[in-house]
Amino acid sequence: MPFDFRNLSVLVVEDTAPLRRMVESILDTMGVGTIYSAADGQTGYEKFKRCNPDIVLADWHMAPVNGIELTRVIRNDQMSPNRMVPVILVTGYSAIERVSEARDSGITEFMVKPFSANDLAKRLAYVINRPRDFIDCSDYFGPDRRRKTDAGYNGPLRREADN
């Protein structure tokens, strides 16, 4: 059974107008109820504060505020209406250093261009169906970066939930 996105609101933050329109069209075809858009991270954050969408899709490379900076503001600004909103970062770069930087900025998911409508639908369904716990510490606020339990790890348990 296909996922029902009618009650979902998504903010698309993409500086390339044809790509932004294409993503909006894909979301519309998927049946997403409300689609907001912005051409850069600065405008995107203002729209985020006004509209409080359920999910943010943001491109990495934009000016004056890129997707990483947008994510950090969403996560850390006390005026943010939802610091725990799922943020899916979209980029053409998939090097491990880039993925790590994005993860450490507080993004929820990472999606590499080019992607299909099916890839986008799966990613949206994933962030809805498998919400991640959030970590709040002195130098990081965002989704738990641990994706799996390492059965071979024999080190100290450092989190309250581990005990």
pLDDT of residue 148: 59
Asked if residue 4 is part of any domain, the answer here is: no
Range of the domain at 27: 9-162
Asked if residue 154 is part of any domain, the answer here is: yes
pLDDT of residue 76: 93
Asked if residue 114 is part of any domain, the answer here is: yes
DSSP string covering the chain: -----TT-EEEEE-SSHHHHHHHHHHHHHTT-SEEEEESSHHHHHHHHHHH--SEEEEESS-SSS-HHHHHHHHHH-TT-S-TT--EEEEES---HHHHHHHHHHT-SEEEESS--HHHHHHHHHHHHHSPPPEEEETTEEEE----S--TT--S---SGGG-
As a whole number of angstroms, the distance between CA 158 and CA 135 comes to: 13
Give the predicted TM-score (pTM) of the model: 0.86
| CATH classification of the domain holding 144 | 3.40.50.2300
Asked if residue 57 is part of any domain, the answer here is: yes
Asked if residue 73 is part of any domain, the answer here is: yes
Asked if residue 3 is part of any domain, the answer here is: no
As a whole number of angstroms, the distance between CA 132 and CA 120 comes to: 18
pLDDT of residue 1: 46
pLDDT along the chain (163 residues), means of 10: 85 96 96 97 97 97 94 95 96 85 90 92 92 87 73 67 63
Checking phi first, is residue 52 left (phi over 0); if not, alpha (psi -120 to 50) or beta?
Answer: left
Per-residue pLDDT of 10-27, as tens digits, reads: 999 999 999 999 999 999
Asked if residue 1 is part of any domain, the answer here is: no
Q: What is the count of structural domains for the chain?
A: 1
Asked if residue 60 is part of any domain, the answer here is: yes
